[in-house]
Structure 1
Amino acid sequence: MGFEVSADMVGQWVGQHLWPLFRIASFMMVIPFVGSGLVPTRIRLGLALLMTILIVPMIGDVPRVDALSADAVVITINQVMIGAGMGFALTVLFQLFVVAGQMIAMQMGLGFASMVDPANGINVPILAQIYTITITLLFLAMNGHLVAFEVFIESFRTIPIGMSGLGPDAFWALAHRVSWMFVSAMLLALPAVTAVLIVTISFGVMTRAAPQMNIFSLGFPIGLLFGLFAIWVLHTNFVPHFEQYTSETFDFMRSLQGLP
């Protein structure tokens, strides 16, 4: 008795494993701590394959469509957009601290001290790179990666594999999430920027009182010193801010799954 393989069986097997892989791989390629340039592509693909093997028995049956039909292409695009959208929501959390570090560094004069960020592949101030390392270590130490994967896996239940994906409201919410990033970065950087501004204003008053004083030779190191002091004070309250922004990000990822 021979074992016959029909086109329906092939389509079902491909859909059962390939569509979850597209969603998971898109998520893994975008998130910061795994999708950065520091992690080789083979490792990211291997993690995505491993997660797919573990998740496939949990998601149930997928729609029975021809593997080469237009419906299959639409389903594939939907899976990629879901994974990339949720990964983008998590990326905004990390970029928030990069923007805050750039704001502080530019006001302190540390903007000249830039280095190549291997995670983003661009030149960023050294302070932004320090913030990136700090929040990555905090995120992993607080098991944030486990929570992120748990929230992402919930999407297979809330947005099952099919013709439906992220709706227009979800894409609008992702676009408006950028404004949340800038507002949060401004609130995080505001104390240090204000401290440096007060020092700059003070030197402006001193320059008017004593015009012969060289403001550039004296104001730059003192402004840098006060900026470093402000960063030191900010770091004492760094973890509560990080916890708040992280919880808001996870809540947004959950709400993203419920938007039509």
Structure 2
Amino acid sequence: MEEIIPELSVLLLVIVRVTSFFIVIPLFSHRTIPAMHRIGFAILLSWMMYYTVEVPMLEIDGRYVLLVLKEALVGLSIGLAAYIILAAIQIAGALIDFQMGFIIANVIDPQTGAQTPLTGQYLNMFALLLLLALDGHHLILDGIYYSYQYIPVDQIALRFGDGSLANYISRAFGMMFMLALQMAMPVVAVLFLVDVALGIVARTVPQINIFVVGFPIKIAVAFIVMVVVMGAIFAVVEELFEMMLYTMRDVMTLLGGT
């Protein structure tokens, strides 16, 4: 019995990191996936990782409680870093919806349960399908697996004091907004020109109700432009996936101090 307890304690730490990672990571954290399935998959993955990751034996004491908190923080930090990067897709959709006039028609995001822009949810669904098609979910799982090379199980201290992690996250935020602007700019620019044209028409022909006429025109133009530039948008999405993986790795490096 004395030999079993330390092994179970290590397995519990692995489960805590993987489960907290699945809480916020895109795709795996969708509320449409039953909670029992997510928990079961997290436990199964943790059990497989336990036998492949070299971990020391740990005793359940006061230090162990700190390790549990640290594992939860590590999993949440890595997953949140990936979620922040992929949020660029939702922001791009919000920018497009604002110009189209769809900003008043939000839908429920199955991942967060909050209201999100219609176009943003549309692009997000296609992005997740692209992520699956490119086997990106395998790379996401590799990220949590190789996190033990950067942050061992028995390491309590994490590097939060020097400010390097905060600086990196702020730069990641800036890059995320830049990529969102790149995805939305073609549609936003064309809709801006449509607004200018509608303004000229409203000045020259005051009898036309420009609000009634302009709304369907902007929607039609936006959809046409989105179809034309969809390839370019998803080229940026592929770059976004690559940036997400690099961000996860860099966050692990900064947290572990390696």
TM-score over 0.5 (shorter chain): yes
Distance 1:198 1:165, change over 3 A: farther
Q: Pick the aligned partner of 1:238 from 197, 209, 233.
A: 233
Q: Pick the aligned partner of 2:90 from 98, 106, 114.
A: 98
Q: Does 1:163 align with 2:155?
A: yes
Q: Which residue of 1 is the match for residue 196 of structure 2?
A: 201
Distance 1:165 1:25, change over 3 A: farther
Q: Deviations over 1:197-233 (max 9, x none)?
A: 1110112122223333322122222122211112112
Q: 1:119 deviation in Å?
A: 2.3
Q: Deviations over 1:72-117 (max 9, x none)?
A: 1211111111111111122123321111111101210122333222
Q: 1:147 deviation in Å?
A: 0.8
Question: Secondary structure at 2:28's aligned position in 1?
Answer: helix
TM-score (norm 2): 0.90
Return the alpha-carbon distance in structure 1 between the equivalents of residues 139 and 213 of structure 2.
49
Q: 1:12 deviation in Å?
A: 1.8
| Percent identity for Structure 1 against Structure 2 | 24
Matched to 2:75, the amino acid is G
Q: Which residue of 1 is the match for residue 126 of structure 2?
A: 134
Q: Pick the aligned partner of 1:68 from 61, 69, 73.
A: 61
Distance 1:135 1:32, change over 3 A: same
Q: Which residue of 1 is the match for residue 43 of structure 2?
A: 49
Q: Which residue of 2 is the match for residue 215 of structure 1?
A: 210
Q: 1:196 deviation in Å?
A: 0.5
Q: Which residue of 1 is the match for residue 31 of structure 2?
A: 37
Distance 1:165 1:103, change over 3 A: farther
Question: 1:157-196 to 2 correspondence within 5 Å?
Answer: 157-164=149-156, 166-168=158-160, 169-196=164-191
Matched to 2:42, the amino acid is A
Distance 1:191 1:220, change over 3 A: same
Question: Secondary structure at 2:47's aligned position in 1?
Answer: helix
Q: Does 1:151 align with 2:143?
A: yes
Higher relative contact order (CA closer than 8 Å, sequence separation 6+): 2
Question: Secondary structure at 1:59's aligned position in 2?
Answer: coil
- In our comparison, the structure showing a higher alpha carbon Rg is 1
Return the alpha-carbon distance in structure 1 between the equivalents of residues 179 and 158 of structure 2.
25
Distance 1:73 1:59, change over 3 A: same
RMSD: 1.9
Distance 1:162 1:172, change over 3 A: farther
Q: Pick the aligned partner of 2:13 from 10, 14, 19.
A: 19
